[in-house]
Each structure stands twice: as C-alpha cells, then as structure tokens.
Amino acid sequence: MWKRMTRALVIVDVQRDFCKGGSLEVPGAEEILKPINELRNTGFFDVVVETQDWHPENHVSFAKNHPGHEVFDAIEESGVKQILWPVHCVQNSVGAEFHPLLTHRDSDILIQKGTDPNIDSYSAFWDNGKQKQTQLKERLVEKDVSQLYVCGLALDFCVAYTCLDGVLEGFETYLILDCSRAISTSSLTMKLLELASSDVKFTYSSLCCKN
C-alpha cells in the first residue's frame, strides 16, 4: 500500500540577535516571518522543528574571546576553520529568544546548538567538526520523517549546513528560498552552488504544498 512521506519543516535560528537591531543582524530577516508562519499553518507538515543558537558566554566563535582578532576574522581552532562573530545568542539572553512574531507551539521540536564552548555548530545536525550530533536526527527518525523543508537564518551558514547534513543523513531535503535570508551575497552565491551539487532541492513557500 502506498504511504505518504512524512514531512518536517525545519525553522533555523529565527532569533532576535539575527533580526533587525540584533548583534548579528541578517538583512531582510523580518521578511521571512509572515511566509514561514503561513506555511506552517497550511497543515502540509507533520512535524515542525525550531533550532536555536544557544551559546555560552565563552564561546569560541565570539571575536571578543580572541584578543588581537576582529569580528569576521577567520582563524583555525582545533583543526576547524572558525569565523569570528559578534557576541550573539548567549544562553538565556534576550538576543537568543525567538523573534516574537514567529509562530511556535509547545508541540514543536526544539533543537539547541552551539552549546559547546570549544566548537561552533552551524548545522542543526552536527557541530562543525562532525564530532558531536544534536538530537535532531534521532527525533526525526522517531517521527518517521523522510522529507525535510528547511528555512530561516542565515541561508549562507546555518540554513545551508543544515540542508547539506540533511542530505548526508538520508533525508530528501528542500531549501525554501523565500523563507530564508543570507548574511552576504557573495557567500550566498558560492553556497547555493554547493547546495545544488549536493542533491539539495530548491523550492518556494508557494510551491511546497504542490510537491
């Protein structure tokens, strides 16, 4: 008997610090709030996941923790390239909260990442050194999910890496372009090419329910 695929909407890091006025503001971040809320209310998705950057104050990604370096410098830390960012999404801070206009429910799966002070975690599945997994794959398998629809902030970093790992973990993975925004146009171009060559499918919120 034919069985419909179980679909998950993965909303990546739609937090105050990545939105207008935040310490690491992503241009146009507020533009994705309405389409994400509308999309999750269509009933198309069986599971909704919200991811949250959740850094300790001494996190390796913060430029202030590396004297002599500036924001956006790139260093090598434990064999992994690390871009240095402004302090953002510190655990239990206002900046780490989800944007107040983002719809979320108690039934949503919450995945907090970047909690290890010694390594960053762009992907919602793994840290950047591929040493430790989050609970995301386990929770998706529990729900019998086979298709992922990924959106959020920032497209050229955490959204993209989540999509890439989604494919590697065996999920049919879609990037919802109009529900995502990038930090940089130049890094976005390169990352979209990488995603396209890695079996990530591109879609729009208006097309999701037609797949």
Active site residues: 13, 113, 158
Contacts of 71 (CB under 8 A, 6+ apart): 63, 84, 85, 86
Q: 35 in the Ramachandran plot: left (φ > 0), alpha (ψ -120 to 50) or beta? A: alpha
d(CA 135, CA 24): 26
- Asked if 201 contacts 173 with a C-beta cutoff of 8 angstroms, the reply is yes
- Classified as helix, coil or strand, 109 is strand
DSSP string, 45-84: -SEEEEEEE-B-TT-TTBGGGSTT--TT-EEEETTEEEE-
Contacts of 112 (CB under 8 A, 6+ apart): 51, 52, 53, 54, 134
Contacts of 191 (CB under 8 A, 6+ apart): 155, 156, 160, 182
